[in-house]
């Protein structure tokens, strides 16, 4: 009979495209397992499984946690209107911070904008500024009236980042380090801010960062500033530890965590593995999954995709799984996460 680690590696081999790098970590209560596939050794003492991937929108869970910590400290309020900081944004007086956090504010995203993808391909090392992201999205109007729709919005989280930095006087990288990374001992997680910061990551290739049509090494040209709110680089183990500690009460009070996990419906619900998909405050969720309530996040972008979910009432115990890989389709790591949750519940 295979060990859990062997089954995890077998699952990566079966589900990942040929030659693609991937890593997985899973925790049930106090037991942790890890496996990796096709990850070349890095220079220096770090073992192969500790090489980082870009987490993309999983970063939203970290930013939301910082916002909620600031609310608990009395610096911010979830019902505070966006107009307090950005009065020129359309209907800003109708957009409380809560709506930015759960993507119901109507702030448009840029993921479908031709101008964004054209600029990314032609100038991957020179990202748009805050002002350019603003000019290309919400300054052209809202996608829908506040509170009357749902759509994932990175510019909404860009605004939350700017609010955090204004209210605390600290850059986001410093806030993440002081409030989350150091307290939890997440030594393999960092906030890259230049192209050079990506050198040590797992190699990943993309056609999105070039106009030639050929896939090139993301690490050589991609600037993380193309993610408007910023993006973390991390490992599956660190991401698992973050969600495990978050839901164990190590970062937020029980009352705040209950608020964070209150889900609004997500329209156009995709097929399985979702049953009743929703979105909380920086958390994707499913209130009726086969493992009970499920919370976490997916992320994908040039070169990388990741998925991480926590099942507080899984049959096998409190389970958290994260898969990070050098592909650009979050359906792949999410599918592996759900299969691993099934395995761990046996």
Q: What percent of the chain has pLDDT over 70?
A: 96
Express each pLDDT in 86-111 by its tens digit: 999 999 999 999 999 999 999 999 99
Query: Are 188 and 241 within 8 A, CB to CB?
Result: no
Instruction: Return d(Cα 73, Cα 222) in angstroms, integer.
Output: 36
Pick the CATH number of 4-344 from 3.40.50.720, 3.40.710.10, 3.40.50.300, 3.20.20.100: 3.40.710.10
Model confidence band, residue 43 (pLDDT cutoffs 50, 70, 90): low
Query: Are 53 and 324 within 8 A, CB to CB?
Result: yes
Instruction: Return d(Cα 94, Cα 226) in angstroms, integer.
Output: 28
**Residues 305-313: what's their mean pLDDT?**
96
Express each pLDDT in 180-205 by its tens digit: 999 999 999 999 999 999 999 999 99
Instruction: Return d(Cα 119, Cα 322) in angstroms, integer.
Output: 31
Express each pLDDT in 253-278 by its tens digit: 999 999 999 999 998 766 678 888 99
Query: Among 157, 128, 110, which Cα is nearest to 226's?
Result: 128
């Amino acid at each position: 009979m295979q060990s859990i680690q062997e089954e995890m590696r077998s699952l990566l081999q079966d589900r990942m495209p040929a030659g693609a790098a991937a890593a997985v970590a899973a925790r049930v209560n106090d037991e942790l397992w890890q496996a990796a596939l096709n990850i070349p050794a890095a220079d220096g003492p770090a073992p192969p499984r500790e090489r980082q991937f870009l987490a993309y929108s999983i970063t939203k869970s970290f930013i939301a946690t910082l916002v909620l910590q600031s609310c608990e400290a009395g610096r911010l309020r979830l019902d505070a209107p966006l107009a307090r900081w950005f009065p020129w944004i359309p209907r800003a007086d109708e957009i409380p911070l809560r709506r930015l956090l759960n993507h119901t504010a109507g702030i448009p995203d840029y993921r479908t904008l031709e101008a964004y993808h054209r600029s990314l391909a032609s100038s991957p090392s020179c990202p748009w500024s805050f002002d350019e992201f603003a000019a290309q999205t919400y300054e052209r109007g809202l996608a829908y009236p506040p509170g009357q729709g749902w759509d994932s919005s990175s510019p909404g989280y860009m605004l939350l980042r700017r609010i955090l930095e204004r209210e605390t006087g600290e850059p986001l990288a410093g806030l993440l380090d002081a409030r989350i990374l150091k307290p939890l001992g997440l030594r393999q997680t960092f906030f890259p801010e230049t192209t050079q910061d990506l050198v040590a990551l797992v190699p990943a290739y993309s056609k999105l960062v070039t106009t030639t049509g050929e896939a090139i090494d993301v690490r050589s040209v991609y600037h993380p500033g193309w993610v408007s709110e910023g993006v973390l680089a991390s490992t599956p183990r660190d991401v698992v530890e973050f969600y495990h500690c978050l839901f164990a009460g190590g970062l937020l009070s029980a009352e705040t965590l209950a608020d964070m996990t209150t889900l609004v419906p997500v329209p156009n619900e995709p097929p399985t593995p979702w049953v009743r998909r929703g979105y909380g405050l920086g958390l994707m969720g499913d209130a009726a999954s086969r493992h009970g309530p499920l919370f976490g996040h997916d992320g994908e972008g040039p070169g990388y995709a990741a998925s991480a979910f926590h099942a507080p009432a899984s049959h096998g115990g409190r389970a958290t799984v994260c898969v990070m890989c050098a592909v650009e389709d979050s359906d792949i790591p999410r599918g592996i996460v759900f299969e691993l949750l099934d395995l761990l519940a046996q």
